[in-house]
Amino acid sequence: MKRLLTLAVLLCLCLAACGREVDVASVPRGKITLGEEAEAPQNIAKGVSLVVPVGGALSEKILCNLINEQNSELTTEGKAFLQKKENGIWYAVEDGELDFTYWNDELLPGTYTQLRADWSERWGALPRGTYRIVKEICVEGQGSCFLLAEFELP
């Protein structure tokens, strides 16, 4: 499976280098299993943003910016989970805990960090659809809070 995926990616790169358009629909996608309906987090962090920049979400990995716009320090400790939207309802992706890497894990007021996750070894390329990341953080004076970042994979 990995060889097939590698060959498909190399083929896409070769075709792109030759100036031809590549049909994204032809790139093989992995499979995920949806679990139970996901409950909406209740304690959403205020003054903190988790943003997926344009081009930051790819089928095999994601880059997010965590921005601290408040007057308190925060830490990025806490879990992160992947969810998928089907028929207007959010579902937990089974085995959906994400392992993010960070530039730094403590954010002073007015600063940001980048978070990266690569799920290619776990699921391969995610199927098309609407996804969101639910990231737990710890905010000074508020305790444990959650951030949401939604993204689309065409």
The CATH number of whichever domain residue 141 belongs to comes to: 2.60.40.10
Give the Cα separation of 60 and 116 in Å (integer). Answer: 11
- DSSP three-state, residue 70: coil
**Strand ranges in the chain using DSSP code E only, listed in sequence order:** 34-37, 48-51, 61-68, 74-75, 80-86, 89-97, 101-102, 106-107, 112-118, 129-139, 143-153
Name the pTM for this structure. Answer: 0.74
User: Is 16 in the same domain as 58?
Assistant: no
The proportion of the chain whose per-residue pLDDT surpasses 90, expressed as a percent, equals 35
Mean pLDDT for all residues in the chain: 78
User: Is 135 in the same domain as 61?
Assistant: yes
Q: Copy the structure tokens of residue 7.
A: 């060959």
User: Is 93 in the same domain as 132?
Assistant: yes
Give the Cα separation of 127 and 118 in Å (integer). Answer: 15
pLDDT, mean of residues 118-129: 89
pLDDT 10s digits, 51-84: 999 999 999 999 999 999 989 899 887 888 899 9
Asked if residues 149 and 115 have their Cβ atoms less than 8 Å apart, the reply is: no
User: Is 21 in the same domain as 56?
Assistant: no
Q: Which among 46, 90, 89 has a CA at the least distance from the CA of 71?
A: 46
User: Is 13 in the same domain as 42?
Assistant: no
Query: What does the pLDDT read at residue 139?
Result: 86
pLDDT, mean of residues 37-52: 84
What domain range is 16 assigned to? Answer: 1-30
